[in-house]
Amino acid sequence: MFARALPSCFTVGNLFLGIISIILAIQGSWQYAAIMVIIGMLLDGLDGRVARMLNTESEFGKELDSLSDVISFGVAPAIIMYVSVLKDTGPQGWLVTAIFPICGALRLARFNVSPGKPGYFIGLPITAAGGILATMAIYNEYVANAYILMFAMLFLSFLMVSQIKYPKFNKMRVPKSAYWFAPLFLIAVAVSAILYPRELPKVMFIPLALYALYGVKKAIDRKRRGEANDDPVEDLK
């Protein structure tokens, strides 16, 4: 019984952190709100792997995961961006704030119906898009014009519903013994978040942004070569 419930515990933990992230953002602590999204990403990456490892995958788990992702990586990052950057932009900010989770929900619905091609996701996964948006808010002090970040938010929304292919990593072989270190890793991330609340999101932003840009670059390269398909790579959600 515990084995069957364990993956859902990770998923509910992700959902819990998403709700806490929204509360922190509304209270103005959006740096810590971004950290909640990052930790939620780690939990989101564990639930599917643990379910496959324990052979407890189910339709219930998949639906719960999608519903949690809409909150944690759609609504929460959009609220973080609105509170930190867009709150003074008027109705335009409202519209862009709404567009992001809507595109995220569309992305998840499409994934549930059609997971994509072997080795690839079609469109930027909402986990990556939400992580980028939440951590991008930390850089608002370096960007003089809020409309630049607004455009970046719209671009991420487009990537989620686009036909751009992104490589999967969720089926890479990971030793089962490594999962015993996952709680220690989560504790280490939490401690780092407490000690360095501004630095952790900045560090996480870079690989996530590179992943998003990688898909765009490969799509441009394929279009230039006139290729319809790539060779699939070794199998993020």
Q: Is 97 helix (H, G, I), strand (E, B) or coil?
A: helix
CATH 2.70.70.10 fits 2-225, yes or no: no
CA 163 – CA 158 distance, rounded (Å): 10
Please give the residue that has the higher pLDDT: either 3 or 101: 101
- CA 51, 215, 71 angle in degrees (round to 5)? 50
Domain edges within the chain:
2-225
- How crowded is residue 225: how many other Cβ atoms within 10 Å of its Cβ? 8
pLDDT in tens, 72-106: 999 999 999 999 889 888 899 999 999 999 999 99
pLDDT in tens, 28-70: 888 889 989 988 988 888 777 777 777 777 778 788 888 999 9
Q: Is 49 helix (H, G, I), strand (E, B) or coil?
A: helix
Residue 2 has pLDDT above 70, yes or no: no
